Amino acid sequence: MIDVMQKLLTFHRGLLQLAEQKTEAIKKGDVGTLQQMMMKEQKYVMAIRQLESERMSLLSHLPEEERTVSRYAEQVEEKERMKLLQLANELSDTIVRLKEQNELNMQLLQQSLQFIHFTLDLMIPNEQDVTYDPKRTDELPPRSSFEAKT
C-alpha cells in the first residue's frame, strides 16, 4: 500500500507541475504547448486510474463504506501506519493545490474566450445594425413639424 500511495503522490505532483506550466502557456497564448501538456496530462490520468484500482483492490477486504487509507492504516504496524497517514495527508494537500491550479487555469481560459468574443464582436458588425429595416422607426429621431431658419 505504501508503494501505491507513493506512486499516486508522485503522479499527482507531476499533474500539479503540469497545471502550473499550463498557466504560463495560457498567459502566453501558446496553444501548441497547451496541446502537448494535455497529452502528457492524459498519460498521468491513465496511470493514476490504474494505481487507484490497485489501491482499491488492496482495500477490497474492507466493507465498501470503510475503504479508506486511514481505515487500512488501523490494521498495520505503527511505523507503516505513520508512513501511510503521512502519504495520505501529502496526497490530499497536493490534490487540493491541483484543484486550485486547475480552477485558475479555467478562469484564465474563460477570460481569454471572453476577450476573443469581444474582439470578434468589434471586428464583425452585427447584420441587424447595418441593414435598413422600415419597421424600426422607433429608433429614428423624432421629426419636428416646425422648421425655423436662423
- pLDDT tens digits, one per residue of 39-56: 999 999 999 999 999 988
Q: CB under 8 Å to 108, separation ≥6 — which residues?
A: 23, 26, 27
Q: What is the pLDDT along the chain (150 residues), one digit of tens a residue?
A: 889 999 999 999 999 999 999 999 988 888 899 999 999 999 999 999 999 999 888 888 877 777 788 888 888 888 898 999 999 999 999 999 999 999 999 999 898 888 887 777 778 766 555 555 556 555 555 555 555 555
Q: Give the pLDDT score at 11.
A: 96
Residue 143's Cβ-side half-sphere holds a number of Cα atoms within 13 Å equal to 2
Q: Give the pLDDT score at 149.
A: 57
Whole-angstrom Cα distance, residue 29 to residue 120?
17
Domains and CATH numbers, the chain: 2-127 (1.20.58.300)
Whole-angstrom Cα distance, residue 38 to residue 96?
20
Neighbours of 10 (CB within 10 A): 15
pTM: 0.71
